[in-house]
Structure 1
Amino acid sequence: MSAEQDAGLSVDVRELGGKPGTQEHLDRTVATPADFSAVLVGFREGGALHLDLRLESVHEGVLLTGTASAEVSGQCSRCLDAIGYSAAVDLMQLFTHPGREVDGEAEDEDERLIGEDLTIDLEPVLRDLMVSTLPFQPVCREDCPGLCSQCGFRMEDDPEHAHEQIDPRWAALADLADGLNDPEDASGERS
């Protein structure tokens, strides 16, 4: 199969059926489907998703191996700056024929099946594998200082930025101390 035969994420395995040991190579670039993402980061919807796969006929069905790569974009979880990078995922998945037992066991509900029309839908497999590689808390760089938890100030702009923090248990005493240091009396007149 060639890149010109772009049929999306559905792969016809008709030629591999019943011929263990037969292989096909799939080199295809398709648009990344929606929802290949986590909260702050994800694979760009509609961006180029490159598939370099080998499909091999085995007794149980079709063994899929290879890589999928695409651009990741999102926001740093510390400073909310935009981030982007390329990511590649290794794939290895067995697709079985419906109703066939694998290693003497009946079909598992998580097992990937070859469709009745002798096609494989790659989208669920790719979604599971690719989204699981995304970082839960993406960062623009490992030493990103983030934002000030008090005011949201960008800490990289001034690393010395700080707020005087008073323990809330002592706040009443701090207010009393401010009152004692104030030259005004209770009536608001200066002495």
Structure 2
Amino acid sequence: MDDCLALKGKQVSKGPSNTVTLHEANGQAFYMKRFVPGKRRVRKYFVRSRVRAEWEHLLWFQKQGIDTPKILAYGEEYHSGKFQRGVLVTLALHGAKDMESLAKHKSPLIFERDKFRAIAGKVAKFTKVMHSKKFTHNDLDWRNILVTDEMDVYFFDCPGGRFWVWPFLEYRIIKDLSHLDKIARECIPLRWRLWFYKQYTGRKKLNKTDRERLKKIAR
């Protein structure tokens, strides 16, 4: 891990407990996400680290048929039961941009109906697969969904995801769908948003339960 963490790259983002850098080797680009202990003291001891949660969730996504960036390496270190550091390395997807950036730059991938439907249909499918397994992302914003020029879709950045049981599952499902709708409501027509929801449910017509859920999503 020392050799891996010693690599110098271009900083892409920095948060309280992690830093993302972009690297290139032998003509191939990859992202390295370094993790350090967070501020919450209890979480440093004898609990699953955020880096472990992230790589385990990405590997679980792949098993469910949900596309993610390819994982190249991962690891973590503890000392006397206390998390010290961790790393997750993923392959950079050529030309991929997150949906939030695409919306900000008025990309046709978002604002042309047929292209939007090609992308949104995959997002709906992946989201439904997660929820059908009683798993929610808990940070399912457009910035955490990558899209390529070929309109391939990839989920990533999910350290906070987890499995839920009734009665908490429905609340968490609504939270995921609300996160997806947060930017959508500002830039795409209502009928497109309803089309996405119908793709998610697999129903052509909304029922009473759907209408009640949509009211909560739109709050």
Classify the TM-score, shorter chain: under 0.3
Q: What TM-score results when the alignment is normalised by the length of structure 2?
A: 0.25
Larger strand proportion, structure 1 or 2? 1
Q: What TM-score results when the alignment is normalised by the length of structure 1?
A: 0.28
Question: Greater Rg, structure 1 or structure 2?
Answer: 1
